Chain A
Amino acid sequence: MSAAVHAQSGFGAGGGSAAHVATGGLDTTHGVVLYLDGITVSFDGFKALNKLSLSIDVGELRCVIGPNGAGKTTMMDVITGRTRADSGTAYFGQTIDLANLSEAEIAQAGIGRKFQMPTIFERLTVAENVELAMKADKRVRRTLFHRLSSEERDRIAESLRLMRLEAAADRPAGLLSHGEKQWLEIGMLLVQEPKLLLLDEPVAGMSDAETERTAELFLSLAGKHSLVVVEHDMAFIGKIARKVTVLHEGSVLAEGPMQQVQNDPRVIEVYLGR
């Protein structure tokens, strides 16, 4: 579990025991980090999300599964401000209404996101990718005058070590393999020090060994961070799952421990039984 050790020393964001504390504007007094209620999103009349309600507890690792087109990515788009809901509410903690914030503000508030397609800055080097993602004052003037401190250099190096990308530090990120790009994006997410991580199909394109390490990493992050993981890879879900939510046609079809969800006849019908 070397990944876990590094994660602990390097990315301990905020307080050690995250549950039931209000940190930096995020009020989680009731133990809930994310609260979606009755979210509806339609594209030209087609409801990608249909009265979706969901809540994520502080420190929870939640897996979200569902067939293609169930609305999993759209849900992340709504949470991160990329798509605006037609109706319903989305709260980050008790007080932050996500509908009022821009993408950048939501990211600064502490929600990090990994895209379904690995999205990195192809022509910047791997280390530069991490540098840009790292938690900092991200306003224009501060960025212009920003010079890397030795502490920041150390954190970049540490992140690259955790992602096993040290050797590629000075190479353009576009040259990485698909799996390495996934890792880089996860690394970029972690140096952002988010309180809630949204991971859209993080192990797609990874080798078995890489998938295994990703599972370890996520398990080590839970507790300190809250995670929402969307995956189609059921073996991976089986490894990390505690509570699983099944989306179907834009709403929650079933929710509960993996075992229970897997045996739910409705789930078997729409998803597992196909």
Chain B
Amino acid sequence: MSRLYGARGWAILGACSLVVFVVFPLLNLAVPPEHPLHLSAFWVTLAGKIMCYAMVAVAMDLVWGYAGILSLGHGLFFALGGYAMGMYLMRQIGREGQYQSDMPDFMVFLDWKEFPWHWWMTDQFWWALLLIVAVPGLLALVFGYFAFRSRVKGVYFSIITQALTFAAMLLFFRNATGFGGNNGFTDFKRILGFPITTPETRMALFAITGAALIGTLLLARWIVTSKLGRVLAAIRDAEPRVMFCGYDTMHYKVAIFTLSAVLAGIAGALYVPQVGIINPSEMSPANSIEIAIWVAVGGRGTLAGAILGAGLVNGAKSYFTVAFPEYWLFALGAIFILVTLFLPRGVMGLLEHLPGASRHPSSTRRGKTA
């Protein structure tokens, strides 16, 4: 019954795919470095990183924009996916670390003789893939089950998700936890045997991230245009009514929260090999709040808005942190306040008012409530 994109939406998606899969590879790999049109590794990595953020934003929009659940712990799921990938990348270093040991440097430094139990099988890529999905997914499933069963709602849910990511950060800061303490993982050398910093590997990671983002968007779109999507929007609008219609809303909330966490974890796993580092600061409460800001800026309950918001805010952030590093947090706060006051439906709401913009008769797009 509800559509999400008209012909224009699909055209934009096609154009973006063209840029990611054709224009970027050509300008980066085929155009020689001394040519003015050459796209440097810096831009490829920046764009790749932002696409990872955009994936988390879409995941966030599913739970917040559609189901009305404001999770302020999505940075944790992102980081867990990143750590799962990071463990594999650490194993891929082999004996090329400073201490020329089979163990990662930080373990040698701590004088550990063998891998802790949770490093079991992490040299296997397929196992890493499993962890990337299973760890954030299981955590969200268990946490969501208890939270939603106890009918924890609204701001209380937001606060306990903040507490969860904060607690995890403290845990990961400890050396004894076995994740490299406050330094986390870095100095990766290879992925699947390929050297990780060559332009070709970079471009491959970039293209895979692009495909994952498009896949995430299409999956999310399929969900929100299904009857399930309408039930989620109904839960957001009037949860008791949904229950008295015979839906067990707890199951719906657990399901969408878990799926969202898995998507965030996959984004984190794609992020780590591109930026070359993962450490506990990714779990800081502020990171999770930033994710919510991207979605609010782009426009809740629109999916495309989440991508747009992640791009705009992170684009601005990249500029600010170079030009005026001290002022970024003030700028972020100002953006958030302005959007909340003047653009309750985000940039997408603004775009709809442009002349010639197509208006679709979909109701599920209009996300406003928290």
Chain A interfacial positions (CB closer than 8 Å to B): 80, 82, 102-105, 107-108, 112-113, 115, 119-125, 127-128, 131-133, 138-140, 143-146, 148, 170, 172, 188, 192
Is B363 within 8 A of A125, CB to CB?
yes
CA distance A124 to B238 in the complex (A): 11
Contacts of B234 on A, CB cut-off 8 Å?
121, 124, 132
Would you give the shortest CB distance from A154 to chain B, in whole angstroms?
A: 15
Contacts of B247 on A, CB cut-off 8 Å?
104, 132, 138, 143
Which B residues, 351 to 370, have Cβ-Cβ distances below 8 Å to chain A? 361, 363-364, 366, 368
Is B248 interfacial (CB 8 A cutoff)? yes
Is B211 interfacial (CB 8 A cutoff)? no
Is B1 within 8 A of A113, CB to CB?
no
Contacts of B243 on A, CB cut-off 8 Å?
102-104, 107
Contacts of B368 on A, CB cut-off 8 Å?
123
Is B177 interfacial (CB 8 A cutoff)? no
Is A123 within 8 A of B241, CB to CB?
no
Of the listed stretches B134-142, B223-231, B274-282, name the one at the interface; the rest are far from the partner chain: B223-231
CA distance A132 to B228 in the complex (A): 9
Given contacts A131-B227, A132-B227, list 14 more A-B pairs with CB under 8 A.
A102-B248, A104-B246, A115-B241, A119-B238, A121-B233, A121-B238, A123-B233, A125-B363, A128-B2, A132-B230, A138-B247, A140-B252, A143-B231, A192-B245
Would you give the shortest CB distance from B276 to chain A, in whole angstroms?
A: 38
Chain B interfacial positions (CB closer than 8 Å to A): 1-2, 223, 226-228, 230-231, 233-234, 237-238, 240-249, 251-252, 255, 361, 363-364, 366, 368
Residue on A with the closest CB to B252? A140
Is A144 within 8 A of B242, CB to CB?
no
Is A132 within 8 A of B242, CB to CB?
yes
| The 5 A-B residue pairs with the shortest CB-CB distance in the complex, in nearest-first order | A107-B246, A103-B243, A104-B248, A144-B228, A121-B234
Would you give the shortest CB distance from A78 to chain B, in whole angstroms?
A: 14
Point out the residue from A82, A121, A127, A138 that lies within 8 Å of B1, measured CB to CB: A127
CA distance A188 to B247 in the complex (A): 14
Interface of B is mostly: helix
CA distance A108 to B246 in the complex (A): 5
Sample 17 A-B pairs with CB under 8 A, ordered by A number. Answer: A104-B246, A104-B248, A107-B245, A115-B241, A119-B238, A119-B240, A121-B241, A125-B1, A128-B230, A131-B1, A132-B230, A132-B242, A132-B245, A146-B226, A146-B227, A148-B1, A148-B227
Is A140 within 8 A of B228, CB to CB?
yes
Would you give the shortest CB distance from A166 to chain B, in whole angstroms?
A: 15
Would you give the shortest CB distance from A85 to chain B, in whole angstroms?
A: 18
Contacts of B246 on A, CB cut-off 8 Å?
104, 107-108, 138, 192
CA distance A115 to B226 in the complex (A): 27
Interface of A is mostly: mixed
Is B230 within 8 A of A131, CB to CB?
yes
Contacts of B231 on A, CB cut-off 8 Å?
132, 143
Is B238 within 8 A of A107, CB to CB?
no
Contacts of B364 on A, CB cut-off 8 Å?
123-124
CA distance A145 to B230 in the complex (A): 12
Residue on B with the closest CB to A126? B363
Point out the residue from B233, B244, B251 that lies within 8 Å of A124, measured CB to CB: B233
CA distance A224 to B20 in the complex (A): 61
Would you give the shortest CB distance from B29 to chain A, in whole angstroms?
A: 40
Point out the residue from B233, B237, B245 that lies within 8 Å of A138, measured CB to CB: B245
Contacts of B241 on A, CB cut-off 8 Å?
115, 119-121
Would you give the shortest CB distance from B364 to chain A, in whole angstroms?
A: 7
Is B227 within 8 A of A144, CB to CB?
yes
Would you give the shortest CB distance from A207 to chain B, in whole angstroms?
A: 24
Contacts of A133 on B, CB cut-off 8 Å?
245
Is A144 within 8 A of B238, CB to CB?
no
Residue on A with the closest CB to B236? A123
Is A103 within 8 A of B230, CB to CB?
no
Point out the residue from B1, B233, B244, B361 that lies within 8 Å of A103, measured CB to CB: B244
CA distance A139 to B244 in the complex (A): 14
Is B2 within 8 A of A82, CB to CB?
no
Would you give the shortest CB distance from B231 to chain A, in whole angstroms?
A: 6
Is B237 within 8 A of A143, CB to CB?
no
Is B244 within 8 A of A143, CB to CB?
no
Contacts of B249 on A, CB cut-off 8 Å?
104
Contacts of A122 on B, CB cut-off 8 Å?
237-238
Residue on B with the closest CB to A173? B363
Is A113 within 8 A of B244, CB to CB?
yes
CA distance A146 to B226 in the complex (A): 7
CA distance A140 to B148 in the complex (A): 15
Is A128 within 8 A of B245, CB to CB?
no
Would you give the shortest CB distance from B256 to chain A, in whole angstroms?
A: 9
Residue on B with the closest CB to A112? B244
Interface centre among A125, A131, A188 (most CB of B within 10 A): A125
Would you give the shortest CB distance from A204 to chain B, in whole angstroms?
A: 17
Is A103 within 8 A of B366, CB to CB?
no
Q: A123-B366, A131-B1, A146-B226 are in contact. Are A139 and B251 (CB under 8 A)?
A: yes
Would you give the shortest CB distance from B97 to chain A, in whole angstroms?
A: 46
Contacts of B252 on A, CB cut-off 8 Å?
140, 143
Contacts of B1 on A, CB cut-off 8 Å?
125, 127-128, 131, 148
Interface centre among B226, B248, B363 (most CB of A within 10 A): B363
Contacts of B244 on A, CB cut-off 8 Å?
80, 103, 107, 112-113
Interface centre among A127, A132, A133, A146 (most CB of B within 10 A): A132
Would you give the shortest CB distance from A124 to chain B, in whole angstroms?
A: 5
CA distance A127 to B251 in the complex (A): 24
